[in-house]
Amino acid sequence: MKIHEYQAKDLLRAAGVPVLAGQVARTPAEAAQAFTALGTPVCAVKAQIHAGGRGKGQVKGSQQRGVELAKSPEDAARIAEGLLDQTLVTIQTGPEGQVVRQVFVESGCNIERELYCAILVDRAAGSPVLIASTAGGMDIEEVAAKTPELILTEPFDPDRGLGSYQTRVLSAKLGLPTSSWRAAEQFFRSLTKAFVALDASLLEINPLVLTKDGGLVALDAKMTFDDNALFRHKDVLALRDEAEEEPAEIRAAAAGLSYVKLDGSIGCLVNGAGLAMSTMDLVKLHGGEPANFLDVGGGADVDQVTEAFRIILSDANVKAILVNIFGGIMRCTTIANALVEASKTVGFTVPLVVRLEGTEVEEGKKILAESDTSIITADGLTDAAKKVVAASQA
Amino acid sequence: MSIIINRDTRVICQGITGKVGEFHTRGCLDYGTRMVGGVTPGKGGEEVAGLPVFNTVAEARDATGANATMIFVPPPFAADAILEAVAAGIETVIAITEGIPVIDMARVLPVVEASSSRLVGPNCPGVITPGECKIGIMPGYIHTPGHVGVMSRSGTLTYEAVWQLTQLGHGQSTCVGLGGDPLVGSSFIDILQLFEEDPDTHSILMMGEIGGSAEEEAAAFVKEHVTKPVAAFIAGRTAPPGKRMGHAGAIISGGKGTAEAKLEALRDAGIEIAESPADMGAAMVRAIERRS
């Protein structure tokens, strides 16, 4: 789960990580008021969307950038006007962009240097790691690819947190003046503690700023949470902004389905995540484009399958649907009955190709054959892919 | 011969009184697995599927001589269940539970590492040595005893591959579900090492997926240390970056963990690639024939 920058900063402030003062605004007038209230000569007005690259992003149909500096309340109102209810396109939103529903007005600071810092769980190390770099404000993936020597990593134990000595190692390598090392220790240690305490899966500060007076400040904050741990963070869950998420994905999650919308024309309904991904690949291999990833899980019932079909069909691009089930614990007869039942209630507008294999497959196929539905049955994965691609182009 | 489990493995189920735990305990019993008991705190003295239930793993171990455990404990308590099994000295700990917070696993892994226990999973279908012992949720009948070692990060995709092998007349020595989470107890490399050392495993089929770099590390290991034929399939070539594809671990982040990078590393190690999920069994056969 993702949250907005201003929400992440509220959480960080509470955890003792230095952030600048700021206020959220949902109208230009609120933005002007925020500027006055903050009382600094310059403020940044920042679009709040669940995607990065806002500084270089641009509003559709205008020259407005996603982040701009304001020098007066009128200035702040003008920038907010240019952002609010407009569609911002960044490298992370894709060409369709995302609608800006709120802006964050943040007081300015005197920047000495811009650094980079992030925390994530490193699979190879099997532990959380803090990553830092002198290349602040830049695309960190590019830095890692071109100049890996500029990337510093310090793994840490979730309970002990980052050691003080580790913060000194980082401070030295980042070239911070020794007078700022205490500030760096405080910054890094509270950041790692917040990461663990909140069950974050990514916490990225880009840029992390060394100010003229030697302090460290999180100028931006991007935070993603471990969905598996949200059960113990009701406060974090309350920060969810569903307006930023794909409606069909929210609907799927509510039904216990795992769904990701894609751009193709062939809907996929599969049991198991690995098989669901492979089914998308299979469709592509035979000249089609998958419209979605959808895993119905191990014990899908009629209600779930019905809802899965409704979600797939809610995508207007879908021209045909491929059902690929390997019956293990879930019997093919169960899924066949669910398919027949669902097809009656849903009312298919596009061809449906079904491939069943595994437990009780013959009986399952018989149920489909004897039903008065127009389901196209397939023998094997390749046959299924060919049939659904052909059906989508008919 | 086989790896990790065989007909002598004595198995308990942690979470046996839950609906899912009981269901799969019965499934393993039906397959012929030597299930010897179960554990649910507070339910000691009860009986499930004809097996004694204990309050703690240590009690279960003392009473039954169990040396393996199958964990179905719900996510909030699953990490603790793994630690309990390790503390009781259970040799093989197989965690089926899906949805364990990743930071919990970051706390568990160093403890497992420092012990003599082997952890497989979490978020995995389990381990099966066909004809001898099944610990997990996979449908037993699709497997046949034989000499292909199978390992995978995904459940149903493994079933698909095993089914293809069985249809082609190639049985399996042992099939290992590594699990779909970012942090798991056993890696491809751990299992490759066991398969390489197992005289009854003649070839190895692996199914990977997008996310992380476990497949790249496995490829490097194969190049250096594996003498047996290896075939591989990678799921997720069409997955978009930044999106979690069902499994918590299946995500391309920062341009890393793509299917292309994994396939390149596997090819470079001389591993036979299945281009289509329909081709996994056939790719294994090609790799075997190439050597003979």
Q: Is A369 exposed, middle or buried (0-12, 13-18, 19+ CB in 10 A)?
A: exposed
pLDDT above 80 for A138: no
C-alpha torsion sign, points B118, B249, A11, A43? positive
* CA-atom Rg of chain A in angstroms: 25
DSSP β-bridge partners for residue B167: none
Per the CB < 8 A criterion, the answer to whether A88 and A96 are in contact is no
CA distance A131 to B256: 16
CA neighbours closer than 13 Å in the CB half-sphere of residue A164: 4
Considering only CB atoms, B102 lies closest to which of A121, A157, A284, namely A121
Q: Which residue of B has its CA nearest to A329?
A: B139
Cα angle B236, B128, B281; round to 5: 45
Of A128, A270, A382, the CB nearest to B106: A128
Residues of B in contact with A283 (CB under 8 A): 238
Q: How far is B246 from chain A (nearest CA, A)?
A: 5
Give CA–CA dist A46/A44, Å, rounded.
Answer: 6
**What's the pLDDT score for residue B253?**
66
**Which residues are within 8 A (CB) of B77 and not within 5 positions of it... i.e. 6 or more apart?**
none
Are B232 and B274 contacting, i.e. CB atoms less than 8 angstroms apart?
yes
Q: Does A290 touch chain B (CB under 8 A)?
A: yes
Separation of CA A214 from chain center: 34
Terminal-residue alpha carbon distance, chain B: 22
- Among A286-295, A366-375, B75-84, B257-266, the minimum mean pLDDT is found in A366-375
Distances (CA, A) of A372 to A36, A349, B227: 69, 15, 54
Q: Do A121 and B240 touch (CB under 8 A)?
A: no
Contact B154 A272 (CB under 8 A): yes
Radius of gyration of chain B (CA): 18
Active site residues of B: 247
3-state secondary structure at position A214: coil
> What pLDDT does residue B119 have?
98
A285 touches chain B (CB under 8 A): yes
Mutate to test the interface with A, among B156, B178, B210, B217 (most CBs of A within 10 A): B156
* Residue B57: count of CB within 10 angstroms of its CB: 26
Of A272, A357, A382, the CB nearest to B276: A382
Determine which of B238, B252, B256, B262 to mutate to test the interface with A (most A C-beta atoms within 10 Å): B238
A320 in Cβ contact with A350 (< 8 Å): yes
| Best residue of A157, A277, A280, A388 to probe chain B, by most B CBs closer than 10 Å | A277
The answer, for A7 touching chain B at a CB cutoff of 8 Å, is no
* Catalytic position from the list A154, A185, A204, A360: A204
Q: What pLDDT is stored for residue B248 in this prediction?
A: 65
Chain B residue at shortest CA distance from A278? B235
Helices B57-64 and B75-87: crossing angle in degrees, nearest 10, is: 50
Query: Looking at the predicted structure, is the pLDDT value of residue A265 above 70?
Result: yes
**What percent helix, strand, coil does chain A show, rounded to 5?**
40, 25, 35
What backbone torsions phi and psi does residue A144 show, to the nearest 5 degrees?
Answer: -65, -35
Indicate yes or no: CB of A258 within 8 angstroms of CB of B102. no
> Closest partner residue to A124 among B213, B246, B277, by Cβ?
B213
pLDDT value at position A299? 67
Return the SS3 of B278.
helix
Q: Determine whether the interchain pair B238/A284 forms a contact, defined as Cβ–Cβ distance below 8 Å.
A: yes
For chain A, give the percent of residues with pLDDT over 70. Answer: 99
What DSSP character marks residue A394?
A: -
B235:A298 CB<8 A:
no
**Known catalytic residue at A116:** yes
- pTM strictly above 0.90: yes
CA within 13 Å, CB half, A4: 21
Instruction: Determine contact, residues A338/A307, Cβ cutoff 8 Å.
Output: no
Nearest alpha-carbon partner for B11 in B91, B77, B80: B91
How far apart CA A48 and CA A54 sit, in angstroms, is: 9
User: B134 pairs with which residues across the strands?
Assistant: B128
β partners of residue A98: A88
- Cα–Cα distances (Å) from A89 to A268, B94, B143, B219, in that order, read 29, 46, 51, 39
Residue A254 confidence class, pLDDT cut points 50, 70, 90: confident
List the pLDDT tens digit at each of the 292 positions of chain B. Answer: 799 999 999 999 999 999 999 999 999 999 999 999 999 999 999 999 999 999 999 999 999 999 999 999 999 999 999 999 999 999 999 999 999 999 999 999 999 999 999 999 999 999 999 999 999 999 999 999 999 999 999 888 999 999 999 999 999 999 999 999 999 999 999 999 999 999 999 999 999 999 888 999 999 999 999 999 999 999 999 888 777 777 766 766 666 789 999 999 999 999 999 999 999 999 999 999 998 7
Q: What is the pLDDT of residues A120-130, one digit of tens each?
A: 998 888 999 99
Lowest-confidence region among A201-215, A319-333, B22-36, B156-170: A319-333
Give CA angle at A176 (A160, A116), nearest 5°: 70
CA distance B110 to A126: 8
Quote the pLDDT of residue A194: 97
